[in-house]
Structure 1
Amino acid sequence: MNRGRVWTYAALVVLGLLTGLAGGLVQAGWSTGGVPLALAGAAGLFWGGSQLTRGKGGAVAPAAGWLVAVVLLTTPRPEGDFVFGAGLGAYVYLFGGMLIAVMCATIALPAVPGAKDRDRRNHN
C-alpha cells in the first residue's frame, strides 16, 4: 500500500471522528431536523469515501472513526452527564448511522482495473 493511500484512509478516519462528534451534537441540539442532518452528513462521508477510494475500505475507514466518536460520546462522564440522551433521536442516530455505514460498504464500487489487469485479460 502506498503512502498516498495510507494518508487517504487516515484522513477518512479523522473525518469520521469529526462527523461523529458533530452529528452527536447536532442530533441532540435540533429538535426535528438534527437527526436527518446528522445522518445525511454521515452518509455523505461514507459514500464519498467509498467513491474516493473505489472500494469498501473507503466507507469502512470513516465509519470506524464515526463509531469511535459515537461510542465515546455515549459513555457517561464523571459528572454524570451524557452527550447522548435516552431519547428516540439518539437511538435513530446510532442505529441509522451503523446501517448507513454497512450499506455504503456493501454497495461500494469495485476498483477500476489498471493496466496490468487489462494486459492480463488480453493475454489469456
Structure 2
Amino acid sequence: MVVMEQVPTAERSSGRAVAVAAYAVLFVLGLVMGLLGAFQHSWYLRPTTVPVSAFGCVLALFAVCYGAGRMMGGKLAALAAASGWLVMTMVWLSGRQEGDVIIAADLSGYIYLYGGMVAALTAVLVTPTSHGGSWLLTRH
C-alpha cells in the first residue's frame, strides 16, 4: 500500500506562485537578451569580417534557454526564455515609418535571427523533462 503525503493548500498555492514568478522572470530574461542582442549582434572581427558577436549572441541564447530548462526541470522554462527573445526580436524586425530597422539584412543579422531561432528551438527540444519537479520548488 502506498501512502501519499497530503500537501496543504497554502503550500501548493504558494508553490504555484513561485513557479509562475520564475517563468515570468525567464520570459523577461529572454526579452533582455533580445534587446541587447539586437543592438550588439553586428560586431565584426576585422579584416576577415566574421560577425563574432552574432555567434556569441546565438550561443548565449542557447545556453540560457537550455540552462533554464535544466534548472527548472522542464521544457516550459526553456520555452519561456526563448519566447521572450522571440517577442523582442520580432519587435526589432518590424520597420518604422522612417524606414529604420534594428536588425539589418546583412550577414550578422541573418546569423543572429536564424541562428537564434535554431538555437532556441534546439534548446527547447534537447532539454530533458524531469518528473522530479523544479529545483526551485523542491524541499531540501
Q: Do they superpose with TM above 0.5? A: yes
Are 1:27 and 2:49 matched, yes or no? Answer: no
RMSD of aligned Cα (Å): 1.4
Amino acid of the structure 1 residue aligned with 2:80 = A
Residues matched between the structures, number: 113
Equivalence for 1:9:
23
In 2, Cα distance between equivalents of 1:66 and 1:79: 24
In 2, Cα distance between equivalents of 1:91 and 1:85: 8
Are 1:82 and 2:82 matched, yes or no? Answer: no
Higher Cα Rg: structure 1 or 2?
Answer: 2
Contact 2:59 2:119 in 1 (8 A): no
Equivalence for 2:119:
100
Equivalence for 2:3:
none
In 2, Cα distance between equivalents of 1:109 and 1:6: 20
1:67 aligned to 81, 86, 89, which one? Answer: 86
Q: Secondary structure at the match of 1:21?
A: helix
In 1, Cα distance between equivalents of 2:54 and 2:120: 16
In 2, Cα distance between equivalents of 1:37 and 1:82: 21
1:25-80 deviations in Å (ceiling 9; x for gaps): 1112x123111111122112111111121110011001110000000001112221
2:132 aligned to 99, 113, 120, which one? Answer: 113
Runs of 5+ unmatched residues, structure 1: 115-124
